[in-house]
Amino acid sequence: MSFLFHILHMTHGIRSILPYLKPYKKQIAINIVFNLLSVVFSLVSLAMVVPFLRLLFDKQLLVKEAPLWSWSMEGFVAQFNYQLSSIISQYGPRQALLYVCLLVVVLFFLKNVFHYGASYVMATLRNGVVRDIRQKLYDKLLRLPIGFYSDTRKGDILTRATADLQEVEWGVMSVIQSLIKEPVAILLSLLAMFWISPMLTLFVLIVLPGTGIIIGRVGKSLKKQSRQAQDMLGALMSTLEESLNGLRVIQAFGAQEQQRERFAGQNETHYTHMRSMLRRRDLSSPLTEFLSIIVIAIVLYVGGLLVLGQDRSLSAETFIAFIVIFSQILPPAKAFTKAFYHIQKGMASMDRVNELLQAKEEIEEMENPISFDAFKQSIRFDKVRFAYEPEQPVLHDISFELQKGKVLALVGASGSGKSTIADLLLRFYDVPAKEHGLIRIDETPIRSYDLKSLRARIGIVTQRSILFNDTIAYNIAMGKQGATQAEIERAAQLANASTFINNTPQGMLTTVGDNGSKLSGGERQRITIARAILKDPDILILDEATASLDAESEKAVQDALHNLMRDRTTLVIAHRLSTIQAADEILVLDKGRIIERGDHQALLALNGRYKRLVELQELASS
């Protein structure tokens, strides 16, 4: 049978979805029962065609004595003939005809009631599975290390979380309907056919598998083609996302035509591939129908020979009932074949989603980690070496100690390793092994701490203000779960943000726009400072927090930063050296090495790299 052939080909791919079906065992059981009842009522109503035709066209066959019951087609027909004969004898053939028609209506009503019931629970199952996969995928994306996103295109990630999940949704629906509804309908129809004529049913079972083999060969490469199409769509989405983010640069440099050609090439490639794939998929329906007609023609011929044969082993009305029931196999078989193609596409997309779900989380927790409840003594880097890529070290034997309550500044050219030190402290990356050095907080290796509790005690303000398209209050409240309105307002006041917030249309409830586009640079930065103040961290990281601001905005932000830094241990990554002159210690980095260290006056006295950097900035600002 063709549906069995397809099941064998789908088994491997379906395994990845089975874990998501486990929470919905109840819905699956109800769906099976309702589908079973729907098919049973459908077959019973169709089986009535035999006694109806016999009595309608051959009234000599009226039965006057109740026959003995037997579990066979002939026994069923005899019992129904007797009941119908009684009605005809008592009320006449017209009343009997009305009785049969009303019974068919009732049976089909019950069939459709259970059919709707099966679809009703299917809605919960289908949408629930996709919701669970989407939530698991989002949770995974939040856990993946920062380095993962450096090597992966955002557009491709978005495609996997949207278009691929849409394909999975259709695939899930097809899997469930195909493995529950269609096989039940086909199996019960086969049993009814075998009940009517075992010989003719065996002949059908010999002929049908050939159609499954042909259809299976047509769809053999569809999963591979679907995977390639989704990869192309990911590249297309990446180009679109990059163009939207870099629209100012594209327009300023007149690069619209260049970007247009780039996008058009990718779009054309995706179009060509999708056209080929959809043509192959759409071949399934007419091919299935044509092959089914061939099988029906063969069955009509063989069954007709049995009816016309000398022994008349099959009556005409029984053969008609057989054909009517056999015709009920074709719609589910056709639906199963169509679902097979959806499943191939769904499995290709599920493979892409699984790649994200199974991506390695390089920042691993130790067994029984220590909770970092409070910062007490110091942060210490001991001969730390680190590389993002093998044989390309970024840090070389970095050693320093930052005492509680002190300010340590890192200065140096871009690429000198300043931000990497901050990322290691936050455990966005981990030092791979002890031979690459150790990072300790309060004399405890940083990897021994619970990651969540560690980051809960560290606050960060970066050069690029990261805001979400929500209210000002929401963006500040991210610093502390369950923060009260009074706490949010106090944080805004300490960040020198209250004045401009009160001047916005809805105050704290004003939406900031996509990445804070409705606010100025200084306003965005003060919102992020308010977020850090609300968090009330023990350790503070300022990553070039004023580098991109004008003089007026910088003063307001600097005042806010002073409020934030008060009584905190602070690591400052400095671009403007005038902002770190009061630091307790300054480290000058070059190509991943500390080349100078000391306070502002001591470094000036060295007459080295730091003094030259100060002089260059003073010259640039004059």
pLDDT for the residue 438: 92
pLDDT for residue 599 is more than 60? yes
pLDDT for residue 209 is more than 50? yes
| DSSP secondary structure letter of residue 463 | S
Confidence of residue 2 (pLDDT cuts 50, 70, 90): very low
Whether 366 contacts 448, CB under 8 Å: yes
Confidence of residue 338 (pLDDT cuts 50, 70, 90): low
Phi/psi zone of residue 482: left (φ > 0), alpha (ψ -120 to 50 degrees), beta? left
pLDDT above 90 coverage of the chain, percent: 13
For every residue of 448-461, DSSP letters joined together read: GB-HHHHHHTEEEE
> How distant, in Å, are the alpha carbons of 30, 69, 404, 440, 567 from that of 376?
59, 90, 7, 12, 13
Confidence of residue 54 (pLDDT cuts 50, 70, 90): low
Lowest mean pLDDT among 202-206, 243-247, 410-414, 461-465: 243-247
Domains (range + CATH), the chain: 2-357 (1.20.1560.10), 378-621 (3.40.50.300)
Query: What 3-state class would DSSP assign to 286?
Result: helix
**181-201 mean pLDDT:** 77
Query: What 3-state class would DSSP assign to 428?
Result: coil
- Taking the C-alpha atoms of residue 191 and residue 73, their distance in angstroms, rounded to an integer, is 11
pLDDT for residue 410 is more than 90? yes
**458-472 mean pLDDT:** 85
- Taking the C-alpha atoms of residue 414 and residue 603, their distance in angstroms, rounded to an integer, is 20
pLDDT for the residue 41: 83
**144-156 mean pLDDT:** 77
pLDDT for residue 132 is more than 60? yes
9, two tokens: 């080909």
pLDDT for the residue 80: 66
Closest CA relative to residue 425, chosen from 390, 406, 400? 400
**154-170 mean pLDDT:** 80
pLDDT for the residue 199: 79
- Choice between 227 and 123, residue whose per-residue pLDDT is larger: 123
What is the per-residue pLDDT across 476-525, written as a single tens digit (0 to 9) for each? 988 788 889 999 998 888 888 888 898 888 899 998 887 788 888 888 88
pLDDT above 70 coverage of the chain, percent: 77
- Taking the C-alpha atoms of residue 610 and residue 607, their distance in angstroms, rounded to an integer, is 8
pLDDT for residue 610 is more than 80? yes
- Taking the C-alpha atoms of residue 589 and residue 395, their distance in angstroms, rounded to an integer, is 10
- Taking the C-alpha atoms of residue 384 and residue 430, their distance in angstroms, rounded to an integer, is 11
pLDDT for residue 3 is more than 50? no
pLDDT for the residue 402: 94
**389-411 mean pLDDT:** 89
> How distant, in Å, are the alpha carbons of 191, 223, 338, 345 from that of 172?
28, 15, 13, 11
Computed over every residue of the chain, the mean pLDDT equals 78
Confidence of residue 58 (pLDDT cuts 50, 70, 90): low
What is the per-residue pLDDT across 259-285, written as a single tens digit (0 to 9) for each? 788 788 888 888 887 787 777 666 666
Confidence of residue 71 (pLDDT cuts 50, 70, 90): low
pLDDT for the residue 421: 92
- Choice between 342 and 603, residue whose per-residue pLDDT is larger: 603
- Taking the C-alpha atoms of residue 257 and residue 149, their distance in angstroms, rounded to an integer, is 29
- Taking the C-alpha atoms of residue 536 and residue 76, their distance in angstroms, rounded to an integer, is 81
Degrees, nearest 5: CA angle 571-575-581: 65
Q: At what angle do helices 154-161 and 330-357 cross, to 10 degrees?
A: 140
- Taking the C-alpha atoms of residue 546 and residue 561, their distance in angstroms, rounded to an integer, is 10
Beta strands in 425-510 (DSSP E): 438-441, 444-445, 458-462
pLDDT for the residue 382: 94
Residue 237 identity (one-letter amino acid): M
What is the per-residue pLDDT across 301-317, written as a single tens digit (0 to 9) for each? 777 777 776 666 677 76
Continuous segment of H or E residues that includes residue 388: strand 378-389
What contacts 24+ positions apart, CB below 8 Å, involve 307-311?
A: none
For the entire predicted model, the pTM comes to 0.71
**217-232 mean pLDDT:** 64
Residues 6+ apart with CB under 8 A from 256: 250
Residues 6+ apart with CB under 8 A from 575: 463, 544, 546, 547
Query: What 3-state class would DSSP assign to 57?
Result: helix
- Choice between 437 and 50, residue whose per-residue pLDDT is larger: 437
pLDDT for the residue 589: 93
pLDDT for residue 7 is more than 60? no
pLDDT for residue 6 is more than 50? no
Confidence of residue 341 (pLDDT cuts 50, 70, 90): low
What is the per-residue pLDDT across 525-577, written as a single tens digit (0 to 9) for each? 888 888 888 888 899 888 876 655 656 666 777 777 787 888 889 999 887 77
Residues 6+ apart with CB under 8 A from 226: 167, 277, 344, 345, 348, 349
pLDDT for the residue 201: 79
Q: Rank 210-214, 336-340, 578-582 by mean pLDDT and report only the highest.
A: 578-582
**174-186 mean pLDDT:** 70
220, two tokens: 């053999």
- Taking the C-alpha atoms of residue 386 and residue 396, their distance in angstroms, rounded to an integer, is 7
- Taking the C-alpha atoms of residue 170 and residue 343, their distance in angstroms, rounded to an integer, is 8
pLDDT for the residue 57: 60
- Choice between 232 and 587, residue whose per-residue pLDDT is larger: 587
Cα 434 → chain centroid: 37
- Choice between 305 and 598, residue whose per-residue pLDDT is larger: 598
- Choice between 417 and 515, residue whose per-residue pLDDT is larger: 417
Residues 6+ apart with CB under 8 A from 600: 580, 581, 582, 583, 586
Number of C-beta neighbours around residue 438 at 10 A: 16
Confidence of residue 14 (pLDDT cuts 50, 70, 90): low
The single residue listed with the structure tokens 């502002």 is 600
Confidence of residue 8 (pLDDT cuts 50, 70, 90): very low
**468-478 mean pLDDT:** 88
Whether 96 contacts 84, CB under 8 Å: yes
**139-148 mean pLDDT:** 81
